[in-house]
Amino acid sequence: YYGAALPGLWLSEGGQSATGALLDHIIRWHGAGGEPDTAMHARIARRVAELRAVEGENLAARLHVLPDFHGNRSPLADPHAVGVISGLTLDSSFDS
């Protein structure tokens, strides 16, 4: 939601447990990650920080994510909404 909390910034709404479950799902689904655990989440966070230092705001410019994998609680309140990740390639490396 653009500008909902602070002018000029995006706000992403998501429950903490639902967000964690989605990240675990992506790690399992991806194939390069292995099993989700605290160490894997820390490894991913470190690598994202490294890549952002190099690529800046263009890090994921080709990706578009609709994170409604568990439905949408607000503002649409649609429990049947589904998630989408657009811009993926066949790259299965850790960095992808």
The answer to the question of residue 38 being in a domain is yes
| pLDDT above 80: residue 12 | no
| pLDDT above 80: residue 34 | no
The answer to whether 48 and 55 are in contact (CB under 8 A) is: no
Structural domains counted in the chain: 1
pTM of the predicted protein model: 0.68
pLDDT-above-70 percentage for the chain = 89
Tokens of 4: 């909902």
The answer to the question of residue 5 being in a domain is no
The answer to the question of residue 61 being in a domain is yes
The answer to the question of residue 93 being in a domain is no
Q: For residue 76, give the nearest of 13, 23, 8 by alpha carbon.
A: 13
- Domain of residue 32 covers 16-86
| Residue 5 banded pLDDT, cuts 50, 70, 90 | confident
The answer to the question of residue 92 being in a domain is no
The answer to the question of residue 11 being in a domain is no
- Residue-wise DSSP of 13-54: ---HHHHHHHHHHHHHHHSSS-S--HHHHHHHHHHHHHHHHH
pLDDT tens, residue by residue, 62-91: 999 888 888 877 777 788 888 899 999 998
pLDDT: is 29 or 74 the higher one?
29
